[in-house]
């Protein structure tokens, strides 16, 4: 993810910086802290959601909202202030762990079975894999057929509605009528389990979009601190 530095001495905001520096010393750190935290929250609540929607097929509509997280700065020391935005659960949830590779490009491991559209709800590419077709959860069982010679014999043994792994693909047996067997493709099998992914830069785009609001947010925080100063 891109790192951004808050510049409070640029020409657009320096007059507000000078005003606040003439007040109590605690006012400037409070304004900077409020700015950093507001920007971090904007990224979580707005720009990550917008960027991810433009980048990914979102089969779980609440995924990015639920898995993104913010660490707000509590520091009173300007030099050590840092607000962070990221994702939680990467050590347990594979989809979260894969986001790093999707951001920068690379390889994702453990993808031996790539679901076909026919395995998804309504056979729709944008939908999740149906529960009965999920391999990860252990619900989908299949029989391996290694030889063309034994294909018909083993398919009959599996029966209609059963699943087979044949020629690097997982199929559901739709029907058996004499020598005719109809199969429904569920998964393509990737022996290496490695999938190459192109970089998306979705987090970088979200960062840049939020960063454009920096001056506006900082001025708002300065005005808030000035109002509190003159009230006191």
Burial class (CB in 10 A: 0-12, 13-18, 19+), 74: exposed
Give this prediction's pTM: 0.76
DSSP element (H, E) containing 158: helix 151-158
Give, for all 232 residues of the chain, the pLDDT tens digit.
Answer: 567 888 888 888 999 999 899 888 889 999 999 999 999 999 999 999 999 999 988 788 899 999 999 999 999 999 999 999 999 987 788 889 899 899 999 898 888 888 898 888 888 877 888 888 887 665 788 899 988 888 999 999 999 999 999 988 999 999 999 889 999 999 988 888 898 889 999 999 999 999 999 999 999 999 999 999 888 6
* 95 neighbors 164 (Cβ within 8 angstroms): no
Q: Two tokens at 189? A: 């099998």
Domain boundaries, the chain: 14-108+198-231, 113-189
| Residues 29, 34, 40: CA angle, nearest 5 degrees | 130
Residue with tokens 């020409």: 11
| Residues 101, 63, 94: CA angle, nearest 5 degrees | 40
């Amino acid at each position: 993810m891109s790192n951004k530095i808050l510049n409070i001495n640029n020409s657009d905001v320096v007059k507000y910086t000078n005003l606040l520096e003439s007040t109590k010393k605690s006012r400037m750190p409070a304004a900077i802290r409020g700015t950093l935290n507001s920007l971090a929250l904007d990224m979580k609540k707005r720009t990550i959601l917008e960027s991810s929607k433009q980048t990914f097929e979102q089969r779980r509509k609440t995924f990015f909202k639920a898995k993104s997280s913010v660490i707000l700065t509590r520091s009173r020391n300007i030099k050590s202030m840092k607000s962070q935005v990221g994702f939680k659960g990467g050590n347990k949830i594979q989809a979260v762990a894969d986001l790093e590779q999707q951001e920068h490009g690379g390889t994702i491991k453990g993808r031996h079975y790539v679901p076909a559209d026919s395995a998804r709800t309504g056979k729709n590419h944008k939908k999740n894999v149906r529960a009965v077709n999920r391999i990860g959860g252990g619900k989908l069982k299949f029989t391996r057929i290694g030889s063309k010679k034994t294909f018909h014999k083993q398919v009959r043994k599996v029966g209609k509605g059963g699943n087979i792994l044949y020629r690097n693909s997982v199929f559901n047996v739709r029907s058996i009528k004499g020598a005719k067997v109809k199969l429904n493709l569920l998964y393509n099998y990737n022996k290496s389990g490695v999938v190459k992914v192109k970089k998306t830069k979705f987090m970088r785009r979200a960062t840049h979009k939020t960063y454009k609001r920096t001056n506006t947010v900082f001025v708002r925080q300065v005005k808030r601190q000035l109002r509190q100063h003159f009230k006191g």
